[in-house]
Amino acid sequence: MTLTNRDVFAVDPTERDIPNLGVAKVKNPEDDGDWATLEWELNSFVCKGEYNKGLDRILSQYLSHLGQGEQPAVWVSGFYGSGKSHLMRVLEYLWRDYKLPSGASARSLTNLPAGIEKHLTELSTAAKRAGGLWSAAGTLGSGASGSVRLAFLGVIFDAAGIPRQFGPARLVLWMRREELYSGVRAAVEAAGKDFNYELQNMYVSPVLAQALIDAGAGFGDSPAAVSSALQVQFPLVEDISNDEALDIFEDVLRLQSNVTGKLPLTLVVLDEMQQYINDDNNKALQVQDLVEGCSSRYKSQVLVVATGQAALAANPTLQKLIDRFPVPVALSDTDVETVVRQVVLRKKPDKVADVAAALERESGEIDKQLAGTPIGPKGADKETIVADYPLLPTRRRFWERALRAIDKAGKAGVLRTQLKIVHEAARSVADQPLGTVIGGDFVFRSESASMLQSGVLLKEIDELIRGLADGSADGELKSRAAALTFLISQLPREGVGDVGVRATAPVLADLLVEDLATDGDRLRKDVLRIMEELVEQGRVMKVGDEYSLQTAEGADWTRDFNQRRASISAETARMSSLRNEWL
């Protein structure tokens, strides 16, 4: 039986999507879909390289400072899409070994190195001497309040299952301390009302007021009296003091403790902190004061971890936080390839030899592709070619350069973009025989919409490329070659960024090969022929051996030029007369 690409993948890409589309969000799961996404994120987390070092540094620093009087905060930095949020989301659930609805625990789902497992075991042991383990995570910008302290408490309240709004949250805390919460909630729901909705409208909710009266809350004997008392006792506020915020945070922690009188070992993750602060010095100062209080007030049991694209030394505003976040963790793009190979391209162990044999049989074709360029075949490719398959190492390097070139605004994000593209590409060749690889033009198909949106790709060029695919084999090849010509045109042609790839017929053919056994010789003939046809039609311009796409105006000019040249060349007598005259 002939093996297909689908047969060699550890996880069939046609039967599984990337649930979060490569974008991890630090938030509490709200439905079955969110829980399934979380389970996938834990199961697919690749704890190697910078991610391993990051977890090790965070956990070891925390454990070494327990009982030392102050717990230093952590700042995690890394480029857009480097996996900061994924790392933080995994850390949050590993911290308290959260039990998911499926019955599996976070730590059992995640493949962790021995060193990280040792730290987590030590953390759990220390928690038995304290009030257990607890964590809260979110973004400060997700709250409506302009106050840093209220936004911080909103993250804490949300993790504790308390309304994010300050007034209703304080009422819930009071009811829980007085052991009235369960009775009041049951009474509200027995009246057919949504408890959270009534809390949000607590000043005008007769049902909530009556439930408080029946529970003996002591706010008054009538709903009107209770409503007035609630407005006085739990008012709407625009800001609070730092001490008040820390007092309320401690109230929440005591409710999460499993030992009376002790606080749990607590992790607070504040994602996208840099984006929230922006260049606001006032916000930076409030964050500084708040984190200082968290680090020093709770017997070193509370760890604050914040994230941002830049290191704290990057600008004057962030530099104010250096003393408050003395533990830096920097993520880089060195592990992008490892993550893509583990999450999307991982092979079945018993099929690795089949993949290696198929690639060895076609090594001559593979070694031809982009030979002589800085991204051409290398000796080191032999160590990764099976792991990269069905993406050839030369094409992976081409994709990396092309993605950087078309991402003018820096928004695509290397990790999340490559996860998405490689997954889609692997799916597209899953049913093809073993030895069929992903074409270099796939990036254009995947990213054309975002390139149109950013203005990198003009609409008329996109329409030209897509219009060439007229249903014929030649039309499909012309469209693919034109897409590659566009991508190559975006690559740097000067300095260290120049990888020497030009849109010549041999290079286009190299990148278009899919069936390693049969496509090479055929495409090297067909690509030259169809590109010359496009030149004659005025859709492509040729300078030397290089091709470039024509805009509508350029195409009209070239078409008119070619027609005039052909007309003059056909006038043999006139050409002979002119030749004699000039000679």
| Domain end position, chosen among 277, 299, 331 | 331
Going across the sheet that includes 327-330, the strands are 133-139, 265-271, 302-308, 74-77, 327-330
Angle between the N-to-C axes of helices 414-428 and 442-454, in degrees from 0 to 180, rounded to the nearest 10: 140
Residue 20 belongs to a domain: no
3-state secondary structure of 328: strand
pLDDT tens digit sequence for 155-192: 999 999 888 889 999 999 999 988 999 999 999 999 99
Which has the closest alpha carbon to 503: 494, 491, 495, 515? 491
Please report where in the chains the tokens 């990051």 appear, as a residue: 54
Q: What angle do CA 216, 219, 224 make, to 5 degrees?
A: 115
> Quick check: 172 and 164 in contact, CB under 8 A?
no
Do residues 287 and 382 both lie within one domain?
A: no
> Quick check: 533 and 526 in contact, CB under 8 A?
no
Instruction: Give the per-residue pLDDT at 189.
Output: 92
3-state secondary structure of 58: helix
Instruction: Give the per-residue pLDDT at 568.
Output: 74
User: Rounded to an integer, what distance in angstroms lies between the CA atom of residue 343 and that of residue 341?
Assistant: 6
User: Rounded to an integer, what distance in angstroms lies between the CA atom of residue 370 and that of residue 512?
Assistant: 11
Instruction: Give the per-residue pLDDT at 412.
Output: 46
Please report where in the chains the tokens 């995640």 appear, as a residue: 110
Residue 226 belongs to what H/E stretch? helix 223-233
Instruction: Give the per-residue pLDDT at 413.
Output: 47
Length of the chain equals 583
Residues sharing a CB contact under 8 Å with residue 420, sequence separation 6 or more, in sequence order? 18, 21, 22, 446
Residue 70 belongs to a domain: yes
Do residues 325 and 345 both lie within one domain?
A: no
User: Rounded to an integer, what distance in angstroms lies between the CA atom of residue 436 and that of residue 11?
Assistant: 18
User: Rounded to an integer, what distance in angstroms lies between the CA atom of residue 234 and that of residue 205?
Assistant: 14
For residue 355, what are its two tokens?
């993949």
Do residues 391 and 526 both lie within one domain?
A: yes
Do residues 402 and 510 both lie within one domain?
A: yes
Do residues 424 and 341 both lie within one domain?
A: yes
Do residues 434 and 533 both lie within one domain?
A: yes
Per the prediction, the chain carries an average pLDDT of 86
pLDDT tens digit sequence for 207-226: 999 999 999 888 888 989 99
| CATH number, domain containing residue 103 | 3.40.50.300
Do residues 305 and 424 both lie within one domain?
A: no
Residue 271 belongs to a domain: yes
Which has the closest alpha carbon to 336: 394, 272, 380, 400? 400
| Domain end position, chosen among 331, 346, 370 | 331
Ranges of residues in the chain whose predicted pLDDT is under 70? 1, 17-28, 30, 79-82, 142-145, 314, 333-335, 408-416, 551-563, 566-567, 570
Do residues 355 and 500 both lie within one domain?
A: yes
For residue 406, what are its two tokens?
């078309």
Residue 116 belongs to a domain: yes
Distance, CA of 107 to chain centre: 22
For residue 456, what are its two tokens?
């990198």
Residue 437 belongs to a domain: yes
Do residues 339 and 449 both lie within one domain?
A: yes
Residues sharing a CB contact under 8 Å with residue 295, sequence separation 6 or more, in sequence order? 70, 71, 72, 73, 302, 304, 324
Residue 311 belongs to a domain: yes
pLDDT tens digit sequence for 245-295: 999 999 999 999 988 889 999 999 998 888 888 878 888 888 888 999 888
Residue 63 belongs to a domain: yes
Do residues 320 and 453 both lie within one domain?
A: no
Instruction: Give the per-residue pLDDT at 15.
Output: 77
Quote the domain boundaries for residue 286. 41-145+241-331
Residue 436 belongs to a domain: yes
Residue 186 belongs to what H/E stretch? helix 181-190
| Domain end position, chosen among 331, 352, 368 | 331
pLDDT tens digit sequence for 347-381: 999 999 999 999 999 999 999 999 989 999 998 89
| Number of domains observed in the structure of the chain | 2
Do residues 446 and 345 both lie within one domain?
A: yes
Per DSSP, 30 falls in state: -
Do residues 46 and 102 both lie within one domain?
A: yes
Please report where in the chains the tokens 């092979």 appear, as a residue: 347
Q: Give 476-479's long-range contacts (Cβ < 8 A, gap of 24+).
A: 477/512, 477/523, 477/526, 477/527, 477/530, 478/530, 478/533, 478/534
Instruction: Give the per-residue pLDDT at 82.
Output: 67
> Quick check: 300 and 162 in contact, CB under 8 A?
no
Residues sharing a CB contact under 8 Å with residue 200, sequence separation 6 or more, in sequence order? 163, 165, 168
3-state secondary structure of 74: strand
Instruction: Give the per-residue pLDDT at 576.
Output: 77
